Amino acid sequence: MANTVSPPPPYERIPCNNHIFRVLDIAVLFLLTSLLVYRLLTLKDHGFAWLLALLCESWFTFVWLLTVNLKWNPLVHKTYPERLPQREEELVPAVDMFVTTADPVLEPPIITMNTVLSLLAVDYPAHKLACYVSDDGCSPLTFYSLVETSKFAKLWVPFCNKYNVQVRAPFMYFSSDESMLLSDKSPEFHPEFQAMKDEYEGLSRKIQEAAKKGIPSCDLISDLDVFSNIERRNHPTIIKIIWENKECDSHGMPHLIYVSREKRLKHPHHYKAGAMNILTRVSGLMTNAPFMLNVDCDMFANNPKIVGHAMCLLLGSRKEVEAGFVQSPQIFYDGLKDDPFGNQLVVMQKYMGRGFDGIQGPLYGGTGCFHRRKVIYGLCPDELAGQAKTLTSVTANLGDKEMLKIFGNSTEFIKSAAQALQGNTNAPKTISNLVAAAYQVAGCGYEYGTSWGTEVGWQYGSTTEDVLTGLTIHSRGWKSVYCNPEPPPFLGCAPSAGLATLTQQKRWATGLLEILISRKSPIVATFTAKLQFRQCLAYVMILVWALRSIPELCYVLLPAFCIITNSNFLPKVDEPATYGYVGVFLIYNIYTILEYLETGLSLRAWWNRQRMSIITSTSAWLFATLSVILKILGISETVFEITQKDESSSIDDSDAGRFTFDGSPIFVPGTTIVLLQILALVMALLSAGDRHCESRFGEVLCSFLVVMYFWPFLKGLFGRGKYGIPLSTICKSAVLSFSFVELCKRAY
């Protein structure tokens, strides 16, 4: 018998060399632990400030321990799409692609349409793709834009395939250096390129004019009738097949479907999680692809071969039971120089992504993620091996009460769910015949009495439904994989202002804290489910973002408190313990600087991130904590706040990187902290000659450092217009500051 050589796997697991970082990890942990011991041994000789510092530093040590756990075994997966078995086109797995948008003002349609175009043009057989656009704003403008986009897509997709275009979001492609685009191309490319550019500019102009002046009355009169006299939060389901690939042309354009789910005032709609579950059911009826990709409306496909890279990890895993989902990083194309608002997250995603990959896999980030449909339907990895046995009852009795309880009362959908769970990828040939059934599963009352949002589908109960859904999948025993080939798979737009950044961070931290205190907490899942212990610790590190606001706020206020009360929270300059604090400060900063330099970022970007992390934790995360406390007390519910998406052309260059302010309460903590530090430094200066001055040197230095961290707020005190902090905010902060000083003096 001839020797047969097994083909190489479609991906590699490559451990990362992190010996230097491991040494620094242990050094910081050792020093932090030593300083805690020192504080405990000297606690009886000091007062309240010393005790508070001990509590805060205990928290910092705990967080650092969680950090060491996450980063200890970094790993990367390298994919090789060319190594996938060469299959017949009909056997290539299908993928349903979801795009979600909720507000045509905060999320301009031209951004959403570029995302849709990039997905329609990915390098994958078109008849195996379907793109579903969820419009939670029920906007006729979004629908009109999608129809016009489909007309352009019929030209754009063949153009991309013909000339192997690498960047398939038109706005990005046409804004690139044309000399590079036009080089090494055939003569016929030049006129086609110019014609395509003119077509895209015409599409952009139509959408922008429709946004400003209204949709032309001569277009889509019958289709737009369904949008008349409806309210955004109170309307019936609208499902429109914009384009159907009836000929199953692999080089044509994928299916394109518009979905706006039913909303009623008395029915909870569960924000994005509810929209994703509607898309899951509608797509399950119409195309029922075994894999699903979801992206935010501003996160376009930057790598045309990303589907192939994801399939390497999904199809190449051992018996397909390891990778429950494949997550790509959120990378942004519109980053300002040196990242002044610290929201690019490049370093965090690189090192945390690798760290998660070395445990049970990365978190589900809500966009740029490929899911197995059977996993979203609640299948566990141990059930997959005995699938034929465990699913017999499902196929034998489609009216079974258990199936109705889980998936709802749609017979057509139960059939499609059973097929998906069994791995049957035979999608319906004609999707237009299934619109009526799709309307049923998109109704706002369909989920009542079912397991949607609790056991199957996207999970309810948190404004960060993505992390909660990923945690549920990990708790069943699934792993996930980080997919980050070159060029980057997806690119999106980051918040372009300080307020937008803080608003986004508040929403994230609120949802994460909701998960931590819920019955699906990773702490509970470690003991009752199949979540690995180290993965639990990694989840906890993220979920405690909001709680970190309390010790960090206290530590930021300690220097001012000690100067005002003539007390100390740091050892004196001549005490040996001082070297421990200096050592922690230096090693930690060297550690983080090395991460930034290794990623190719500047020292200024590092400083901006350090500054914004303190501002974020003492403002956005603090409000997130208060929001969850109010929810627990039953006073108010948490709210999903949409982040403003800006068109690159609409950003004022004069505002780029500058902190702007308004009357939002989120600016009150930062303003109060700055005023307190200024008061404390003035008091220290006035008492420079007394005998306590030398003993408070460390506190004065820390107070000055806090002012440097909050430099944007110090500038805002003297700024004008939108660059200045409103007088009302300054007055509130002044009252809080003087009240704090008075309380300190009375207490001491």
> What are the pLDDT digits (tens) for 653-671?
556 678 889 999 999 999 9
pLDDT of 420-464, one tens digit each? Answer: 988 876 666 688 888 999 999 999 999 998 999 999 999 999 989
Q: In 3D, which of 196, 182, 195 has the Cα closest to residue 121?
A: 196
Share above pLDDT 70 across residues of the chain, in percent, rounded to a whole number: 89
Average pLDDT (328-332) is 92
Active site residues: 136, 466
Give the confidence band of 645 by pLDDT, cuts at 50, 70, 90.
Answer: low
Question: Between 107 and 187, where is the model more confident?
Answer: 107
Res. 495: pLDDT tops 80: no
Res. 728: pLDDT tops 70: yes
Alpha helices in 633-710 (DSSP H): 668-686, 697-709
pLDDT confidence of residue 397: 38
Res. 649: pLDDT tops 50: no
Give the confidence band of 686 by pLDDT, cuts at 50, 70, 90.
Answer: confident
pLDDT of 352-400, one tens digit each? Answer: 999 999 999 999 999 999 999 999 999 988 776 554 334 433 333 334 6
Q: What are phi and psi of 95, to 5 degrees?
A: -135, 125
Average pLDDT (724-748) is 91
Average pLDDT (57-81) is 95
Stretch (H or E) spanning 15: strand 11-15
- What is the C-alpha separation between 233 and 261, in angstroms, rounded? 10
pLDDT confidence of residue 691: 58
Determine contact, residues 287/431, Cβ cutoff 8 Å: yes
pLDDT confidence of residue 388: 38
Q: Give one word for 262, left, alpha or beta, with left for phi > 0 and alpha for psi -120 to 50.
A: beta
pLDDT confidence of residue 217: 65
Where is average pLDDT lowest: 131-135, 162-166, 554-558, 728-732?
162-166
Where is average pLDDT lowest: 80-84, 109-113, 438-442, 620-624?
80-84
- What is the C-alpha separation between 34 and 554, in angstroms, rounded? 21
Res. 594: pLDDT tops 90: yes
Q: How many CA atoms lie within 13 A of 155 on its CB side?
A: 15
